[in-house]
Amino acid sequence: MEQPLCELEIFDHICDIVQASTSAGGYGHTDWDYSSPTATTQDVACHYSPGSVKEMVDARNQGTTIQHHTLWLKYADAPNSLKVTNANVNHRITNIVTSSGTTIDAGPFDITEITDMAGIHKLLRLMLKRIS
C-alpha cells in the first residue's frame, strides 16, 4: 500500500516560524513587530522549494520581477497560530536550513498564502515572498 504524501520523508529542511507582536505606530495605528515576536516556533520540519520568477505585465508594475517561493510542512507541525484565517499577515519564515545544518536561506520571507492541501489537515503549502 502506498504511503500518503504527508508521511513520506520529503521534509528535508527545517525553518523557524515567527509570529509578530503588535506595537503602536506613529500615527496611532497598530504595526506588526518582528523584532520582539509573540512566538517563534523553531526547527519545524519542512521542504523549501526556491521560487519561480514572474515579470509583471500590468501597466503600474511593468517590468517588476517578483520571485515566489514555496514551503511545505505537516499540518500537525505548524503552530496553531498559523492555522487560523489571515495568519499570513502576522507570520514570517526565517532560517531555512538543511536537516544537516547547512543554511539555505536566512530570509525573512513574508507569507502571501497558506493552503491546507485537500482541506484534510495533513499538509500545508505556504507561498513566500522575500523581504528586502
Query: 58 lies in which domain range?
Result: 9-130
Structural domain total, the chain: 1
- Answer whether residue 1 is part of any domain: no
Residue 2 lies in a domain: no
Read off the pLDDT of each residue in 27-39 and give the average, rounded to a whole number.
89
* 70-88 pLDDT, tens digit each: 999 999 999 999 999 999 9
- From residue 10, how far is each of 7, 40, 83, 102 by CA, in Å? 8, 23, 21, 17
Check pLDDT > 80 for residue 56: no
Q: What's the CATH code of the domain at 82?
A: 2.40.10
Residue 44 lies in a domain: yes
CA distances from residue 68 to 48, 104, 109, 124, 128 in whole angstroms, order as listed: 11, 15, 10, 16, 6
Provide the β-strand partners of residue 16.
94
Share above pLDDT 90 across residues of the chain, in percent, rounded to a whole number: 62
Give the model's pLDDT for residue 24. Answer: 83
Q: Is residue 93 part of a domain?
A: yes
Q: Is residue 3 part of a domain?
A: no
Q: Place 94 in a pLDDT band, splitting at 50, 70 and 90.
A: very high
Residue 1 pLDDT class (50, 70, 90 cuts): very low
Helices (H), 4-123: none
Q: Is 117 helix (H, G, I), strand (E, B) or coil?
A: helix
Single-letter residue type at 129:
K
Q: Is 64 within the bounds of a domain? A: yes
- What pLDDT is attached to residue 131? 75
- Residue range 44-67: mean pLDDT, rounded: 70
Average pLDDT, the chain: 85
Q: What gap in Å lies between CA 115 and CA 125, rounded to an integer?
A: 5
**By three-state DSSP, how is residue 102 classified?**
coil
Amino acid type, 91: H
* In a domain? residue 110: yes
Is 4 inside any structural domain?
no
- Residue 7, pLDDT above cutoff 60: no
User: pTM for the whole thing?
Assistant: 0.81
**Radius of gyration for the alpha carbons in the chain, expressed in angstroms and rounded:** 16
